[in-house]
Amino acid sequence: MDPQQRAALILRDKDKVWHPYTQMSSYRQGADPLLIVSAQGARLHEADGRTIIDGNSSWWTSLLGHNHPRLVATLAQQASRLCHVALGGMTHEPAVEFAEAFAAVCPPGLSHVFFSDNGSTAVEAALKMATQFWQQQSQNFPQKHEFLALKSAFHGETLGATALGDVGAFQVPLAGARRATTHLTSPADDWERSLHELEQQLRTRADHIAALVIEPLIQGAGGMKMYEPSYLKEARLLTSHHDVLLIVDEVFTGYGRTGQFWACDHAAITPDILCSAKGLSGGILPFAATVTTDRVFEAFLGERSRAFMYGHTFCGNPLGAAVAREVLRVYQDEQILLGTVERAQLISASIARLAERPHVHNARSLGMCGAVNLGQGGDYLSDVGWRVYQKALSRGAYLRPLGDVVYVAPPLNIPISDLHELLSVFESSVAEVLDEQPGD
């Protein structure tokens, strides 16, 4: 695209497109956004000819890299036959095949797959399931509709999912509209205190609490906060003991980000409900799944009034289902998880080098995710991460920060040479920003 065409398209964008998480006045005045014309593997192609390494897999979705040829071929093939039908009173092969294959890779005991469109709706469906589940027990639980979540949690953008969240910048404008959730200390901040608070809530208020909802091992949008698998084991034991459901939100952590297929696998636990999206469809289409145990599913059987009265127009979309089925085949055929071992070591070594620099705090990594804080962590409106972003962009990598937390979460199959380049840009950009203006 020539520079005039590029500039004209950006002007039209600024006139009509309202961007997410963006102050549109400064965007319209000063921003020169990336204009992406194509993408392949870990690389994005800018209209001006630049090639940029995607350091966050496009909001954690393109786990197999952009435009994986097998996924693109599957999409085209499926599109030529059937793009969409409603899942009401109808079914189709892609939905059935994916549900079977998905249940087979889920923690044992999870076997009923409810489809929706994205991570937020996967969580929203789980919240509604958990609420209705308790209303339909033979023993009546009229008040068992509250939720426990963790401080620094992020579970999505619908109002129910927002209520579970605890990332200030997202919560403050909606404070009046949020449903009550009790937030426990994050295990990433204080493991023992978190479990103590959980135990106390469950011991004294289990008859009010429908479920504990957690992001397992990594709290993503809350600042890539990481904690030990043993917390999952304890949380599972406690919730089972007090008969409160455990909902695990694997929207970010699932499909191998942490080095195991599910973060739950590190602790060998089965939640009552698991939510999955993003990498589930290889970052190609909006597609999500909420999967449950027999116990949860069976609570909805019987009278017509016991049905789960929830559904999104595009749930189970054949294009998404066909691609999601192929994603699982690619994981197997290309040994994606095995390939993360070497890559995870490179990420962890890079984080260890950064840890030695003054003003770098809480350097951490797990599987295909590595992060450092350049402040106290969690200051979402801090601009230090954005300065790293600008430096990295000028060196050819896209490293969108979470406030003062900078991190890498590239595609799981990023070519090793691209990963070396990404990590070198990451380290040099952090170093340059800190040299210019030391943090605290």
Ligand X SMILES: Cc1ncc(COP(=O)(O)O)c(C=O)c1O
Residue with smaller CB distance to ligand X, 277 or 344: 277
Tokens (6 digits) for 373? 């804080």
- 53, exposed or middle or buried, with CB in 10 Å at 0-12, 13-18, 19+? buried
Binding to ligand X, residues 99-128 (CB under 6 A): 118-120, 123
**Residues 370-409: x where in contact with ligand X by CB under 6 A, - otherwise, as a string:** ----------------------------------------
Q: Nearest approach, Cβ of 112 to ligand X (angstroms)?
A: 20
Q: Nearest approach, Cβ of 56 to ligand X (angstroms)?
A: 10
Tokens (6 digits) for 230? 């043993």
- Would you give the DSSP letter of residue 82? -
Residue with smaller CB distance to ligand X, 124 or 146: 124
Between CA 260 and CA 256 the distance in angstroms is 5
Task: Name the one range near ligand X by CB under 6 A: 6-14, 44-52, 152-160, 204-212.
Answer: 152-160
**Residues 210-249: x where in contact with ligand X by CB under 6 A, - otherwise, as a string:** -----x----xx---------------------------x
Residue with smaller CB distance to ligand X, 221 or 226: 221
Please report whether residue 252 would count as binding ligand X according to CB under 6 A.
yes
Between CA 10 and CA 133 the distance in angstroms is 48
Tokens (6 digits) for 323? 């691609």
Q: Nearest approach, Cβ of 339 to ligand X (angstroms)?
A: 23
Asked if 248 and 271 count as a contact pair (C-beta separation under 8 A), the reply is yes
Between CA 393 and CA 146 the distance in angstroms is 43
Q: How many residues bind ligand X (CB under 6 A)?
A: 15
Residue with smaller CB distance to ligand X, 250 or 418: 250
Question: Judging by DSSP bridges, how do beta strands 146-150 and 181-184 pair with one another?
Answer: parallel
Residue with smaller CB distance to ligand X, 252 or 331: 252
Q: Nearest approach, Cβ of 253 to ligand X (angstroms)?
A: 7
Which amino acid would we find at residue 14?
Answer: K
Asked if 215 and 227 count as a contact pair (C-beta separation under 8 A), the reply is no
In DSSP terms, which residues pair with 405 in a beta bridge?
373, 402
Residue with smaller CB distance to ligand X, 41 or 119: 119
Kindly tell me which residue out of 157, 243, 334, 432 binds ligand X, with binding defined by CB under 6 A.
157
- State phi, psi for 233 to the nearest 5 degrees: -60, -50
Which H or E run contains 51? strand 51-54
Q: Scan for tokens 């599957």, then name that residue.
A: 74
Between CA 217 and CA 225 the distance in angstroms is 8
Residue with smaller CB distance to ligand X, 249 or 326: 249
Q: Which residues bind ligand X (CB under 6 A)?
A: 118-120, 123, 154-157, 215, 220-221, 249, 251-252, 277
